Structure 1
């Protein structure tokens, strides 16, 4: 069942029109920043607006947020080499861009990326086997939450019904409270905000989501963005920015930290091994 969902959803995205023709930042007048569709596009623009304003103030550059509707479109654009200068995304996507497009990690969340499967106490007491055949909600494939949830259920005939219609990670928790699902896979920082739900399982820890830059971005611009992110906590507005993103600070990111993370994408339609 789970494999069928993955293939069908990704195949739909593969049939959509491809990314627009590449255009240099000088022609656009701004640098394009891609972020994962953890929020609907309009909400994402509000969430990331303070961060973009901070970067513009610190670097003297202009930034434009690229926010797509869902993870299927995000995966399509990533595979289609969409016109992106910077990206802020989880480890599997960061490594994918590194291997194929030469992106360079600049800074990452200080906290690792961990996803937690949460349920009510009575459901959690039954463990993973108690979720087989029942509704479990996650953001769509190939988000890191969906990918790590799939790894918890390796038997193709003993799986939950994966529901991926949530628009945000927090929506998954609300679906549990409303009775539309019995469990939700969410980032750890969100799980910590709901003590009335109980952990059923958790993913392994991945390096924190990273800010990476295209090799086409001039070195001085890359360095100015990196420096700005690393000193973000010195800005008076940083608390609101960091709290919304579920992190305490940005720290330096190294390519070796992400090496191999993209392999979790191998289960999804359209994946090809790096050269």
Structure 2
């Protein structure tokens, strides 16, 4: 058998070329995305307040979650409930502090886990200017009533007050509860239906409004986590929220968001709350 003899200089040159090619291949190869672990958690908040005030109000919660999880956190807001409903269904967020019907929807449809809730329950109040004598919602047929847009709880409760399609109010959609109360005080609308805690706060600070009725209470807003969030981190966040009042950092967070504490919560507490969403497109 004949063996081809390759001169040393050719062997050296070939080795150099192969080495250069290998180095070039390494540079060209896709690098592992080391940033993935540092991608911020997205904390979605329902649009009860304006976007700016929502980020301001829940920034302390986001910072506290960042501290607990060891990963950046950013607050995601939307200008209204129509846009919010679209974001909900896209499911491109990690954590969400939300109303009972949306919380149950995510548990049932997306496998979210409820980590903790704000204590007690929450209701909505139908309000009018304090100079107007209104005793029953039927007196507001064909009148302007401000509400957060569908599919908010307020819009659903208002719809239930006027079951007759021939006897309806004129719905004025607002971008925030504050805007709704401002319209009532300015008498640009005859009424509004808004979260009772915000109504009570406004009445104690400035007045100008009167309550016609208050709806049945429902479980208060809850924080839930996507199944994409590791179970260990979910437990860390849950424990940190439930024990927040026992630590300086936790107390600062609670003071920042305006609540005394977080309570334990289970899916059973929110079961069937999402039923009011069944009439909306995309359910």
Q: Cα deviations across residues 14-65 of structure 1 (Å, max 9, x unaligned)? A: xxxxxxxxxxx93662211111122333332222211111222233222122
1:120 aligned residue (111, 118, 129) = 129
1:241 aligned residue (243, 248, 256) = 256
**In the TM superposition, what is the alpha-carbon distance from 1:104 to its structure 2 partner?**
0.8
Q: Cα deviations across residues 59-106 of structure 1 (Å, max 9, x unaligned)? A: 322212221221111111222x33111111001101111111000111
Q: Give the TM-score normalised by the residue count of structure 2.
A: 0.79
**In the TM superposition, what is the alpha-carbon distance from 1:267 to its structure 2 partner?**
2.7
**In the TM superposition, what is the alpha-carbon distance from 1:124 to its structure 2 partner?**
4.5
CA distance in 2 between counterparts of 1:27 and 1:238 reads: 25
CA distance in 2 between counterparts of 1:266 and 1:202 reads: 24
2:146 aligned residue (133, 137, 150) = 137
1:182 match: 190
1:85 match: 94
Instruction: List alignment gaps of at least 5 residues for structure 2.
Output: 1-34
Bigger radius of gyration: 2
**In the TM superposition, what is the alpha-carbon distance from 1:269 to its structure 2 partner?**
2.8
Counterpart of 1:237 in 2: which secondary structure?
helix
- Count residues in correspondence: 243
1:216 match: 228
CA distance in 2 between counterparts of 1:114 and 1:266 reads: 21
**In the TM superposition, what is the alpha-carbon distance from 1:264 to its structure 2 partner?**
0.8
1:4 match: none
CA distance in 1 between counterparts of 2:199 and 2:49 reads: 17
CA distance in 2 between counterparts of 1:52 and 1:160 reads: 39
CA RMSD of aligned residues (A): 2.0
CA distance in 2 between counterparts of 1:32 and 1:260 reads: 26
1:200 aligned residue (196, 200, 212) = 212
Counterpart of 1:138 in 2: which secondary structure?
strand
CA distance in 2 between counterparts of 1:242 and 1:44 reads: 10
Q: Cα deviations across residues 187-209 of structure 1 (Å, max 9, x unaligned)? A: 11112121642221222211111
Segment drifting more, 46-55 vs 171-180 = 46-55
CA distance in 1 between counterparts of 2:254 and 2:231 reads: 28
CA distance in 1 between counterparts of 2:257 and 2:107 reads: 25
> Is the Cα contact below 8 Å between 2:117 and 2:263 reproduced in 1?
yes
1:75 match: 85
Instruction: List alignment gaps of at least 5 residues for structure 1.
Output: 1-24
CA distance in 1 between counterparts of 2:66 and 2:41 reads: 10
